[in-house]
Amino acid sequence: MKQDSPIFEPQQWQLTGQQTELCALARQLGQSKFSERATEYDRNASFPTENFKDLHQSGLLGVCIPKDNGGHGADLKTYMLMASEIGRYCGATALTFNMHVSSCLWTGPLADGLTLDDDLRSRLQQGRKIHYQRIIEDGAIYAQPFSEGGAAAAGKAAFGTQAIRTEGGWLVSGKKIFASLSGHADYYGALCTELADANDKPSRRNTMYVAIPANADGVRVEGEWDPLGMRGTVSRTLIFDEVFVTEESLLMPQGVYFQAASQWPHMFMTLTPAYMGIAQAAYDFTVAYLRGEMPGTPPVKRRMFPTKQIAVAQMRIMLEQTKALWFQSISEAKPNPDKESLLRAWAAQYSVMENANEISQLAIRTCGGQAMLRSLHLERLYRDSRCGALMLPWTAELCMDMIGKGALYEKGESDEE
Ligand SMILES: Cc1cc2nc3c(=O)[nH]c(=O)nc-3n(C[C@H](O)[C@H](O)[C@H](O)COP(=O)(O)OP(=O)(O)OC[C@H]3O[C@@H](n4cnc5c(N)ncnc54)[C@H](O)[C@@H]3O)c2cc1C
């Protein structure tokens, strides 16, 4: 089989040796294994269990775990680049992989960039060691159920899921919607609000990030999962009913998640690589199809029509714009970015999520009726790509909102007399 070219050619985009290697590994896995399995996961809305076994065996499950703890020690940018190669072959695998890797990014490279006192630093390192060991040695999979259907996932209110202090730990109760990997993860990395007792006032500052074992008493998965796209994510509803957790379950000591989320806004871009990969895949499909080289279709060339050429040019321009903006934004990711960098991150997020869908719909219009049959993967790319703009906290709408306000107002400015 002819190997696909990298989305980001290492020399042209000046990738490091590690970025080049990890992207090549992800692409090789994606092309040889994930691509073929994606149809079944999509058709059955089933979780990509086999892909996660391969990710574990290849060492990618620990991609962002620090080297001292047995991982690859990849930073945010390196992770994003390699994950985009996965998204190219199976969007649902890339998106669920993101939920898993986020538990390592928050606790690893991101937390390492925060200013913490010695006690917090040592508690963080002791705590994360437990989780990292499970991932590296046992292939444990972590989910990231944040969303609750209220304003918390958008960062505007305290999480409704509560962790009430009790003897020896906490009792966690609440409901998480759209919990990707539900029923398939080994641990649910849930965000909740710590309360001293049931009368305590919830505050975002007291957000607690806790790994709840999937088999703990009081954990259950509810509801149907039959969505338009990203069907393999199996994002059902999770219920926590007085689940007892101890200090050992903390993914970060209390207060550290709030600090990390406030200082590391680029972290919220980690939902984009899945869609960056889809944008590339829709473009690749169109070129191969119009050249009469799409496996499973007759070798009919359609590239000689000027309208096709114009459409492909339009797609290529959109893809190049998206890649360039995204690459710049993930390259400048760091704690406490300045306003220009933040505006660019929102613009990059918006562009990836909206353009992945725009490129996919242009692909369908350009390739034509035969190309949207279920026997080919373009229609899946089209459906999966529609989901990107809906992901909180940086939905396409919220990005527009933040860019508009950010561009027109400096900090502290208002129009009140
Ligand atoms: C395939 C898929 C997988 C997902 N996986 C996960 C997961 O693993 N973990 C997880 O935590 N979540 C996950 N989500 C959930 C996702 O991040 C959103 O929380 C969810 O899509 C919100 O849906 P909703 O209808 O409740 O949105 P609503 O909260 O009703 O919001 C609807 C829209 O209103 C706008 N809006 C929302 N809040 C505000 C506000 N405060 N101010 C202004 N505008 C606002 C936004 O543009 C939003 O898109 C997933 C979603 C999808 C589609």
Across residues 177-191, what is the average pLDDT? 98
Q: Are residues 241 and 268 in the same domain?
A: no
Residues 225 and 274 in one domain: no
Query: Is the same domain home to 130 and 37?
Result: yes
Ligand 1 close to Cβ of residue 180 (< 6 A)? yes
Ligand 1 mean position to 366 CA, how many Å?
31
Residue at which a domain ends, from 106, 141, 176: 141
Is pLDDT at 1 greater than 80 in this prediction? no
The domain that holds 203 is classified in CATH as 2.40.110.10
33 and 105 inside one domain: yes
Please report whether residue 146 resides in a domain: no
Q: Per the domain annotation, does 34 fall within a domain?
A: yes
Q: Are residues 122 and 186 in the same domain?
A: no
CA of 350 to the centre of ligand 1 (A): 14
Side-chain half-sphere of 279: how many Cα atoms within 13 Å?
Answer: 28
Same domain? For 249 and 268 the reply is: no
Q: Is residue 151 part of a domain?
A: no
CA 391 – ligand 1 centroid, Å: 5
Q: What is the CATH number of the domain that holds 307?
A: 1.20.140.10
Q: Against a cut of 0.95, is the pTM above it? A: yes
Q: What is the pLDDT of residues 109-168, one digit of tens each?
A: 999 999 999 999 999 999 999 999 999 999 999 999 999 998 887 778 899 999 999 999
DSSP string for residues in 233-253? G--EEEEEEEEEE-GGGBSS-
Measure 8 CA to ligand 1 centroid, in angstroms.
30
Residues constituting the chain: 417
Ligand 1 in reach of 392 Cβ (< 6 A): yes
Residue 3 lies in a domain: no
**3-state SS class at 396:** helix
Judge if 402 and 269 occupy the same domain.
yes
Residues 248 and 273 in one domain: no
Q: Where are the alpha helices (DSSP H) in 294-338?
A: 306-331
Q: Which of 93, 395, 403 to mutate to test the pocket of ligand 1 (most atoms within 8 A of CB)?
A: 395
Q: Which residue type sits at 231?
A: R
Same domain, 179 and 212: yes
Q: What is the mean pLDDT of the chain?
A: 96
Ligand 1 near 96 CB (within 6 A) = no
Phi-psi region of 2 (alpha: psi -120 to 50; beta: other; left: phi over 0): beta
User: 387 in ligand 1 pocket by Cβ < 6 Å?
Assistant: yes
Express each pLDDT in 255-309 by its tens digit: 999 999 999 999 999 999 999 999 999 999 999 999 999 998 999 999 999 999 9
Clarify whether residues 276 and 331 are in a common domain.
yes
pLDDT of residue 417: 67
| Domain match, 120 and 191 both | no
Ligand 1: does its nearest atom lie under 6 Å from the Cβ of 230?
Answer: yes
Q: Give yes or no for residue 388 CB within 6 A of ligand 1.
A: no
Domain, as residue range, for 235? 162-254
Ligand 1 within 6 A of CB of 233: yes
Q: How far is the CA of 282 from the centre of ligand 1 (A)?
A: 25
Asked if 321 and 222 sit in the same domain, the reply is no
Q: Name 174's Cβ contacts closer than 8 Å, sequence gap at least 6.
A: 148, 159, 160, 161, 162, 190, 192, 239, 240
When divided into structural domains, the chain yields a total of 3
